[in-house]
Amino acid sequence: MAEGAVTCTIDGLEVSVPAGTRIIDAADAVGIGIARYCYHPALSAPAMCRMCLVEVEGAPKLQPACITAVADGQVVRTEGDAARVAREGVLEFYLANHPLDCPVCDKSGECSLQDYVHREGRKRGRSVEPKRVLGQDFFGGKFGGIIYDGDRCIMCTRCTRFMREIPQDDLLCVVQRGNRSVIDTFFEEGLDESAWAHNIIDICPVGALLAHDFHHKARVWDLDRAPSVCSGCSQGCNVHVDVRDNVIQRLRPRENPEVNSYWMCDYGRYDYEWLNRAPTTVGGDLAETPAADGGRGGAGRLDAPLVRGAGGALEETGWREAILALVERLRAHAGGGGLLLVSPFQSSEDAGLAARLAGALGIAEMVYRCARAGEEIPCRGVPGLARRRDLAPNPRGLEMLGFERTGDDRGAGGIASTGGALIVLGDDLADLPADFDPGADLFVYLGRRLTPAARRADFALPVTTFAEQDGTFANHEGRLQRFWPALQPPARARPAWQALGVVLAGLEDGAAPASAADAFLRLGEWHAPFRGLSYEDLGTRGALANASVRVTPDGAEVR
């Protein structure tokens, strides 16, 4: 038993936890999920939902597990008759005025009220009284805003406490009293100014707070979920990508205490449309045209390898033919120098193999272009969490691989013709005109969209987005984080590490990496920051790259 630890018994299981731990956390540690609404591990505990009442031996009344600290030798029962009856009673109270409109509620399927009532509520409620009707409200907010349904609200106040304690932007409060209480904003602009407000939708245990963006879009049980990393900025918030029919429906933050706690910013949360190949908004203004998706490859994907033929036109071909032809051209070019441009939306594996290829070709100039926001948007209540200035997930990873930043804060410009070979990976050259002169003997383009400038390429090869492949990003502090494929790529698109690996294998007569994990191991052979790390080491929460600079919450840099 560690020093300062106490041992208590919860439902017959012995638990050893540090002194001062709350019963609810101690129970979580041994897999006993005590029912809760108002309690959230990242917020203060008001003990007002009365769901987590448990029997503590020696206490005259039931104790709320969310604020009662464990004591040595304490015996806690969560399944005793008194606790069970109390929960059943509280659940019945919740349903007395709840509209029970699960069939049309977006939260249905991931609703704690639904879950707990089905688990241990009364089979039939006894209320025959007319229900209280409070109606809906619109709270404003970025990206379509947030809808509030007062009838579904169970007054847990997680949302008001979140706004007060996490972004520390006290924009929500409870108004009125008793059974007439509703959550409301203070002014007309509501939540418009907050960059973090949409987190209240995730922590709402019921369907009282809904994203306009996700409203009636999908049933949650139809969604496929993949763990991933937000690509909105270099913070690298961990996310779940929720997909239906190969279309991303929403992003949700995934807990990672080292990076984003339980949260993510609204900019990142709604930066997913570009990953969808088909526009998902009916009559909407997002991603309808290739230009509207920020040029990152949404609609109008490059779907087949193209090679410039004898007649001077790009001709569709197969991967095998394209690779063979490319290897032949590159052999002739070895040592000829040139420029490698890689997008910071590419994984470290992609960029690492591109850098290896550049080395084989004698290309010394390796650059990336990255849009930068005017200023950081910090989340005041969570040290180290902010929307970073770099609006791409992997600029730090590229720098660890030897790339240098070029271009302006819009992520444009900075491409000078250098002669030799021009190899572009991911960056779609949307800022360049159709008569762009690469000034190179060989122009290889691996991308997702055939922009006018990209049409000048000798080889145009379709590659996947990060959401369609395995890989890692390095966030601003050098934390290497894995992401998993969430979408099916277009049939003939390939991960860049795979395409480049095969080309490199052809050039060097070696073996191509068999998987992203394999490609990552090779990075460790070539680059010190990745040395000794594997996908197993990264796990779901990532690991710091070697000798990387870590910025502590008080601003100090630690090597």
Residues making contact with another protein (CB under 8 A): 46-51, 53, 61-62, 64, 67, 85-86, 89-90, 92-97, 99-101, 122-132, 154-155, 173-174, 176-181
Query: In whole angstroms, how close is the CB of 57 to another protein at the nearest point?
Result: 17
Query: In whole angstroms, how close is the CB of 83 to another protein at the nearest point?
Result: 11
As a whole number of Å, the CA-based R_g of the chain is 27
Query: In whole angstroms, how close is the CB of 181 to another protein at the nearest point?
Result: 4
Using the minimum distance from each CB to another protein, give the nearer residue, 50 or 217: 50
Using the minimum distance from each CB to another protein, give the nearer residue, 38 or 467: 38
Question: What residues contact residue 187 under an 8 Å CB cut-off, 6+ apart?
Answer: none
Token representation of residue 241: 């990508």
Query: In whole angstroms, how close is the CB of 66 to another protein at the nearest point?
Result: 10
- CA distances to 135, 471, 501, 524, 538 from 535, in Å: 49, 9, 18, 11, 5
Using the minimum distance from each CB to another protein, give the nearer residue, 100 or 521: 100
Query: In whole angstroms, how close is the CB of 11 to another protein at the nearest point?
Result: 20
270, 293 contact by CB (below 8 A) = no
Using the minimum distance from each CB to another protein, give the nearer residue, 101 or 408: 101
Using the minimum distance from each CB to another protein, give the nearer residue, 123 or 559: 123
Using the minimum distance from each CB to another protein, give the nearer residue, 122 or 320: 122
DSSP string, 229-258: E--SSTT--EEEEEEETTEEEEEEE--BTT
Using the minimum distance from each CB to another protein, give the nearer residue, 180 or 331: 180
Query: In whole angstroms, how close is the CB of 115 to another protein at the nearest point?
Result: 16
Q: How far apart are CA 67 and CA 528, in angstroms?
A: 47
Q: How far apart are CA 101 and CA 487, in angstroms?
A: 32
Query: In whole angstroms, how close is the CB of 97 to another protein at the nearest point?
Result: 6
* β-pairing verdict for 13-18 and 63-64: unpaired
**Biggest CA-to-CA distance, the chain:** 90
Per DSSP, the three-state class of 397 is helix
Using the minimum distance from each CB to another protein, give the nearer residue, 130 or 283: 130
522, 310 contact by CB (below 8 A) = no
Using the minimum distance from each CB to another protein, give the nearer residue, 96 or 528: 96
Query: In whole angstroms, how close is the CB of 108 to another protein at the nearest point?
Result: 14
Token representation of residue 142: 């970025």
Q: How far apart are CA 351 and CA 424, in angstroms?
A: 11
Query: In whole angstroms, how close is the CB of 141 to another protein at the nearest point?
Result: 23
Please report, as a single letter, which amino acid is at residue 524.
G
8-state DSSP, 199: H
- CA distances to 154, 478, 523 from 545, in Å: 44, 6, 12
Q: How far apart are CA 472 and CA 387, in angstroms?
A: 19
Q: How far apart are CA 232 and CA 222, in angstroms?
A: 25
